[in-house]
Structure formats: structure tokens, C-alpha cells
Structure 1
């Protein structure tokens, strides 16, 4: 671990040299792939030539190549054999996205991130007793691809767990067969049964699901808080959704000033950031030697057809950038969909500032505007309704309540039944978004949407109040916080 801290210090000190060397390695390795031959990777491609020749791609634009790999073709985007795909939602043309996971991305990105997470934590807390017990992590599940049974697809957590080295498997709980179960209710009960007797010293996972598990543990054991179950618990490593709304919930259920929280930025596409300082909450060190080459699009240029990207040495503090990555799994100049903001340039530290589209992702459900509009349209058709405007926001978990989504909809023509409208809205979101569907299973994390019919003129009044009548001003369809929704309701006395 101390040796790895020296390596991290190296890219802190020489970030541009490390990224340049990594770029050359990616290009060299992929030069004989179909993609590499198409764009002249074998010609000693410079960064400038790379940006000129290779188009920036969305998932939809890259999917024809990804689909071929899914069906079993190799050497399309990356030279080594790809048997695994991480599945996530958020695409506009399919229920799920399938992200290739190469052996290199597993070893040099995802696993390296996990090891660095421990290294940085021990460096921050040298007196830690973390390794006297086990780490509890909540994984997803995986299954063979529908396109090719030799290819496996699943949540990135499941892909990582299934391929863990023996040493890592020995220090975690629950056993793999339970961690990878796909029936959530059954998995929770088994996890409670198996993990309660263990000496758990750390937790890792999405805040939403981790909280659901901890609440169930208290219900089963009858204990008042988690420290009565695991007195040596000292660390929760969290990512995927903003931790802010959950911070107090965890402080209440784990009432200890010695409990530590570590933010990480890990996604299906790669592991990008780790909190490396005390007291910075959601500020993370950008990890520069994970087989990921970074480019950045200033957010005001994002909608251009082929915007000019910036390299790491060109970014500025405090500005929002859309993240573009080229990886050791064959994602080339790929728009990941996240926006980040630099909080430090020496070393490079970032905060996740949002998504490139309006969305709700308070519980890992990743509902995007296209999902919402399709669901609204079907609900209107089913109930003979016409809408003029809408917005939606999360209802955050509270200690005695589940989370959900709250919709404020202004109807030009009222639905024949608001209850039926809500049902179709919910059913359609579950059909078209696999992550939303998973969170809605048996109301475990998300309850059925709460829909309000707003009086006519509601959104007009709010735009007028904001001084934004006319022009290109519009109501945000989705928001990952409650700011817009509560302001609209307050302005209109709702």
C-alpha cells in the first residue's frame, strides 16, 4: 500500500506526462483492431491527430460496434477477448446500455480503484483496524447475454465480484452465491442472516440500498443502531448517487464520531475518482493511471455536433465540463454523460456536478428526460389527457419512509382517472428503464410515483416569477433535487 501511495504521488506530481504515456499505450495496443485501422492508430497518432480523426461518440453512436462484440466478434474495438459487459440504464434507444469490460479494465481500472481506495484510506487513517474484520458489499447480479450465451452481462458490481482474486474474496462478506442473487428481497434476508454474526468493519455500496439493508438488520436483531451489531464498523465507501441527502440518515443509524465516509466515482465505464483528503466530502482525486485517457467538453459547447475538447492541461477551476473518455476496454472518445467541476488543479481534484441531461438518479434509477416523456405520452393516451407542462423530483428517504418520485403535471385536459394515469406512468417507466424497475420491485426503495394535477397557469406563474417568460426559457422536466419543484409549488401556493 505504501508503494502504491508513491505511484499516486507520481501522477499527482506529473499528471500530464502520465496521461500522455497512457494515451500512447492505448493507441499502440489498439492499432491492429478494426477501429484502430479505420482511424490510423498505427501511424504514431498524436493527441491532436486523434482529436481530428476520431469522432466523439454517444452510446447510441458506438452501439453498432459494441453489438458486434456482444454477439461474439473480437478485435473490433479492443484487441483482447471480451467476455463480460457491465449493464446500466440511461440510453434513449434501448432498455439498458452494455459496456464492454476487458481483462485490462478489470485489473488496471476497477480492481486498481478498489485497492487504491484502501491504500488512500489507510494513508489517511494509519491507526485503522479495518483489516481485523470483513468488508460488506452489496452487489448486483449477472446472467448470460441474450445475444450470445458465452458472454455474461450484469451490474458492474456483479462483474467485479465474480472475477475477484482469492485474497479479496477472503476479506469480504456475504459469500458470492448470496451477494450475486438476483431476487432482492430474498438476497436481503440472506445477507442479514449471514452478515450479522460477522465482525464487519467496513461497508461499500450505493447509499440507498445500503440503508435498506441496515434498516432490515435492525428490524431483525431488535438493536437500536448498527454499532450494537458491528461495534468495530469504521468506514462506509459510497458512490453512484449523491450522498448529501443520506448523510444524516447514516449518522442516525451509525451514531459514532469515529465512523468515516469515503466518496468514490466508479461507473460501468470505469473507476475515475477517490476521495483522498479528510473533510472534503464529495471532492475526489482524479485517478490518472487507470487505463483511461480524459478529455473535457466545456458545457456551453456540449450540444455542438463535434465540439472541441480540452486536455487535462487546458481545464480551469470551477467550470463545468462534460467528461469524454478513451479506455482500455475500447470506448473511444466516449461521452459518458456526467459533468464534473475541478476543485483543484494541483493535484487534479473534481466534483461530480451532474449529468449532461436532466435526470433523476437519487436512488440509482437514472431516469432521463426521454424516459419521462415516453411514460407521460403513454399515460395521456391511456386516459385521454393532454398536458401543457410537467416537472418531477425525488422524494428522499427518511427514517420511517421510503423514497419515490413526485410529479407536478399541468393538464390542458384532465385525465379520465388520475389513479390510472399514475399507474400507466409507473408501468411504462418500469418497462423502458431496467434500473427504475429494479428499484420499484415490491416498493423496496421506490414507492409508486406521487402525481399532483397542477392548476392551469402554474408553470407560467413560476416563469413569470423568475423573469423568464418567453424566449427559449423552459421548465426543467426532471431534477435530481427538490429545488425547482418546491419553488414552483411555493410560488403557486400549492
Structure 2
């Protein structure tokens, strides 16, 4: 996205005028901003829009089953004439049971042949309107997906939940929206020359798309995307993401930043580390008025001296020292982030709030927080037709699924969705936890990826291991900055799980020994399969390696340094690759901290 409000661009004639059924999403087209708002009233219009979309979504909760039927009817009617719709008899389908019988549960690999036809420019394959862009997503394997994004999908599925996601910020933290430089948006990464598919459509991350220019939604620019550092004023290579992060951080230290948006919490966790890493360079650039050594603005010796006084007084300079009015972090708050987020918030300030980013992926939304709940968001019943499968079950084409009203609080499920954008009974790989039911709609939090670690029948999932870590650390009064695990198979002995933990502070040998035993016990409580494998001797006891406190941050920085976009370098719990594991744990050999 660009920093200035662009002129409306012509969206290709995609057949979106074939409205099909009157879905809740389709009714939102009246809000489309065909002209950029005047700067003086943009904030008022933006606030009105996000509050209205939240209100519409809450109204839909009065009869969520009816809304789900509307979404189903709309996607079937709109796409009945597509190649996929004809192959699966969309014109004959009426109910969710009909859809279950006609379409298998499928992942990206199953839909990939259809998507590739769209990427090559063939019309009317999965959707009745042509994709305007293909979102890229790294997925769990690291391979770049091509997620087709059509104008109808954006109006029906994306924009209603997207605007509603910002409502809690606009309601409870209005000051962060009053100045462009009050928000450091870490995921904003505009691209001048995007990669394209064979058909010439952009193939980029969602954070790299100018929704105003491409879809006529001129209020959709995220907070912080008009900041001075949003478009860098000095030359930098497109794939030099480390330097781009430095330049934005160097510029931000001269502003009164009050909110950091990261979505991916690993990006937020990197900020305190980067301040320490780049501190001398930052201070010099500020003093000289340079930006990465390039002429930039007038020298600012006063701010440089202030930064040096902070370093002298505190020793370790934290974001809270540089930005004393910091109020808000916006990122995912569950998964591995739940281990380090409490201490990370303290780095930004003692009263800083962490609002959860939506439970969503490039493929589509699942849940969006409409209030200040710290982890969960309401199911977006107007966006997709949702189905769920118990997280402990294996997914397959014919697996039995549950409807939203059949979910139970406290349980975890694979999320499966179908929407007008061409993904049908799509298992994106995320597991969600049902926290509670509010206004008749489940509220869900992200629990982890669906991948399991299973060498001896233990079938461990991300969420089970994270909870075991939380319980073991909490019982020992310890805190971790991050964690990972790997299965080792010693000669002549059963395989065992080895955990690498970066502690918040130093642990004694006795504390490490007790923590290791507690972790093994908690794993047996979380997983009956792990307990059975341990009892039968198929698995040995867990072991633990203590890493330097910055080990995971260094690894993250190195990954970005190899050219991977920061948004795609995410926390990873299971590390099956031996070489990756050796690289991560190499520092432990210097410490000798293994038990």
C-alpha cells in the first residue's frame, strides 16, 4: 500500500455485477469509497466505517445459521457457471449437506491445479470474476502459494471483517490514529515492481497491496501506512529487508510512537533486540541528520544527546524508554507468542495493551476480535461457510465435519471454510480453540498449525506442547523468550523430545533439572498418546537445552537477512530438520546447558 491516498483505479470488468443471492457481504458494496476522502475528514469517515462494519457483523449474530445459509447460497449461485462449479454440480446444491457430498475437504495442493489455471489467465475456473491479485503465503512448508483474490471476494468476505478488526483500536485508543507517525506498522512493505503470475497479475503479500488503488477502497489503508517511514526516502534494495527495518526504526525514534502493528508477533519481539543491535548506528544517524548514511534532514544533536542519556541511565534501552507514550501492540497473542508476550509487553511499557490480530490467513478470515478480549475473536459468519473437525482427528477428503453451533468451548478444531473467492471446503492448516460463545457465536483463538510430531504414536500438536511449556514454566516460576523442539534418536535407545528454551533470566542447574521433569509430566497430561508412548517405552524422557536469551531473535534476524520477508518468518515449534536444529542450538555447546 502507498502512503498517499491514490486516485481510484479502474478495476477490470470481472463479472462482479452478477450478484447472485443477497448475501450480507454483498450488501456492503454501498460503503465502497469510489473517491479518496479529503484529508481533513478521513479520520472521521474511517472511524464511522470501522464501527459500522462491526455493528453489521454483530447484527448478523442474531441469526448466525441464516447468515451461513446466505453465504452458501451466494457462493453457489455466483460460481455455478465456473469450471469447478460445473464439475461439482453447484447449480444442484442447496444445503451444507449437499456441499459435503459434492466437494471433498481439500488443502492447497488439491486446489493447486485449478489455481494455476487461473494464474495463467484462464477465466471462469474457480470463480466467476477474474482475480485482481494473487496473495502470496509461505504456508507451513515454505513454498509460496498463489491465493486468488477477486473483487467479489474482497467486498463480500474480506473488507467487512477487515474494517471491523480495527474497531477496538479506534474505540479504546483513539489517540494512536490522530497522527500518521503515531503508529509503527512493521508489516507495511509497499513494493514498486511486484512479482507477477503468468497472466501478469501481481503476486504479492496482502500487506503489499494498495486496496484503494486496486479495489477503490480508499479508507482501507492501515494505521501507520501514511507515516514518514512508510515509503522510504532513500534507496534500498527491494529484498534487503534488514536494511529496510533499520531505516524505519531509525526514523521512528524521532517520533512519538504510541502503537506497534506486527500481526506476526515475532516481528514485534524483534524490535527491542534491533534497538540494542543497531543503537550506535541509530544515534549517529540522528545526530548527523542522515538515514543509513544518506543525507536526510537537518542534524538533530538534541535528540541524539537525549538518546545517549537514556542509554547511560538505563544501560539497556527499551522501546518504553524511547517512546514513553506507547499504549498498544497489535499482533497474534496466542501460540508460542503466549510464552513471551507478557514480558515483551513490559519492554514496550508497563501499561501497554496487546490486542489480538484476527484469526485469519491469506486464504480468508475465521475470527475477528470485536472488543478487548486478549486472545479471541468472533467467528465471521458473514464471510465464509465454516466447518470444523476435532483437532485430534486426521483430515481427509471424507472426514465428518461440525457446523459452528456444534462446537464446544475449551475444545480445539481444524478450521475449514468455503467462500465466494473460489476456496471450497478448504483446510488452510490452522487449528483454533473455542474460548466461549458470545451472542450465539463461537469466539475462537489461534491454537497452532495442524502439523503433528509423531515418531512413536505420540501425535503431539503445537497447542499441546505450548500448554505443557506454559504449565511447566509457571510451576517453576520461570519465563521463556521462545522455545522449539526436535526429536533425537540415540543409538540403541528410544527417541526422545529435546526442547531448546531461551530463558528470560539465568536458571540454576537444579531449576533446569526440575523444569525438564515437569515438562515431561505436563506432556503426559496434555496428550494421552504421548503418555502411552512413554509408558510403553517407545519414547524416552524429554531433555532440555538452555539457549542464550537472544538465540531465537538472532535466528529470526538471520532468516530475514537471507531475503525472506519479515511477515513470513514466524515462530516454529517443531524443528524436524537436523541442520536447522544444529544451527539453532549451536550456542548451547558454549554454555554446556543440557539436562
Alignment match, 2:289: none
Give per-residue Cα distances to partners, 1:427-486, cap 9 Å, x unaligned.
xxxxxxxxxxxxxxxxxxxxxxxxxxxxxxxx9xx999945358796689998389xx9x
Alignment match, 1:409: 488
- CA positional deviation for 1:228: 4.0
Alignment match, 2:200: 150
- CA positional deviation for 1:190: 1.9
C-alpha spacing 1:317/1:35, structure 2 compared with 1 (3 Å): same
Counterpart-to-counterpart distance in 2, 1:293 and 1:467: 37
C-alpha spacing 1:338/1:20, structure 2 compared with 1 (3 Å): same
SS at 1:333's partner residue? strand
Equivalent positions of 1:461-472 (< 5 A) are 466=531, 468=533
- CA positional deviation for 1:295: 0.8
Counterpart-to-counterpart distance in 2, 1:351 and 1:472: 35
2:150 aligned with 1:99:
no
SS at 2:143's partner residue? coil
Counterpart-to-counterpart distance in 1, 2:341 and 2:129: 41
Equivalent position to 1:237, from 321, 330, 334: 330
- CA positional deviation for 1:70: 1.8
C-alpha spacing 1:347/1:238, structure 2 compared with 1 (3 Å): same
- CA positional deviation for 1:146: 6.9
SS at 1:208's partner residue? helix
The answer to whether the Cα contact below 8 Å between 1:141 and 1:181 also exists between their aligned partners in 2 is no
SS at 1:78's partner residue? coil
- CA positional deviation for 1:198: 3.7
Alignment match, 1:225: 318
The answer to whether the Cα contact below 8 Å between 2:333 and 2:374 also exists between their aligned partners in 1 is no
Equivalent position to 1:50, from 99, 107, 125: 99
SS at 2:61's partner residue? helix
29-38 or 10-19: bigger deviation: 10-19
Counterpart-to-counterpart distance in 2, 1:15 and 1:465: 38
Equivalent positions of 1:263-302 (< 5 A) are 263-278=357-372, 280-290=373-383, 292-302=384-394
- CA positional deviation for 1:293: 1.4
Counterpart-to-counterpart distance in 2, 1:354 and 1:473: 25
Task: Count how many residue pairs are aligned between Structure 1 and Structure 2.
Answer: 404
Equivalent position to 1:207, from 262, 265, 281: 265
2:228 aligned with 1:189:
no
C-alpha spacing 1:249/1:318, structure 2 compared with 1 (3 Å): closer
The answer to whether the Cα contact below 8 Å between 1:358 and 1:476 also exists between their aligned partners in 2 is no
Give per-residue Cα distances to partners, 1:64-116, cap 9 Å, x unaligned.
11111122222110111114222223466x83322222223334444433321
- CA positional deviation for 1:10: 0.8
C-alpha spacing 1:241/1:209, structure 2 compared with 1 (3 Å): farther
The answer to whether the Cα contact below 8 Å between 2:346 and 2:352 also exists between their aligned partners in 1 is no
Give per-residue Cα distances to partners, 1:239-289, cap 9 Å, x unaligned.
2863312313422321231544334212111132223343x4212212222
The answer to whether the Cα contact below 8 Å between 2:366 and 2:380 also exists between their aligned partners in 1 is yes
SS at 2:115's partner residue? helix
SS at 1:68's partner residue? helix
The structure with the largest alpha-carbon Rg is 2
- CA positional deviation for 1:41: 1.5
Equivalent positions of 1:403-442 (< 5 A) are 405=484, 407=486, 409-412=488-491
C-alpha spacing 1:152/1:349, structure 2 compared with 1 (3 Å): same
C-alpha spacing 1:169/1:59, structure 2 compared with 1 (3 Å): closer
Equivalent position to 1:331, from 423, 438, 445: 423
Counterpart-to-counterpart distance in 1, 2:240 and 2:364: 26
C-alpha spacing 1:176/1:241, structure 2 compared with 1 (3 Å): farther
Give per-residue Cα distances to partners, 1:22-62, cap 9 Å, x unaligned.
11111111111111111121235322211111111121111
C-alpha spacing 1:43/1:266, structure 2 compared with 1 (3 Å): same
Counterpart-to-counterpart distance in 2, 1:163 and 1:245: 39
Alignment match, 1:136: 184
Counterpart-to-counterpart distance in 2, 1:160 and 1:411: 52
Give per-residue Cα distances to partners, 1:188-233, cap 9 Å, x unaligned.
1221233333443322111211232344346235453324433443
Higher strand residue share: 1
- CA positional deviation for 1:316: 2.5
Counterpart-to-counterpart distance in 2, 1:301 and 1:263: 27
Equivalent position to 1:344, from 428, 433, 436: 436
- CA positional deviation for 1:334: 0.6
TM-score, structure 2 normalization:
0.58
Counterpart-to-counterpart distance in 2, 1:88 and 1:240: 20
Give per-residue Cα distances to partners, 1:135-194, cap 9 Å, x unaligned.
322235766557516022233322467858444268523324689943211111221233
SS at 2:389's partner residue? strand
Counterpart-to-counterpart distance in 1, 2:223 and 2:485: 43
The answer to whether the Cα contact below 8 Å between 2:334 and 2:445 also exists between their aligned partners in 1 is no
C-alpha spacing 1:475/1:335, structure 2 compared with 1 (3 Å): farther
143-152 or 62-71: bigger deviation: 143-152
Equivalent position to 1:62, from 106, 111, 115: 111
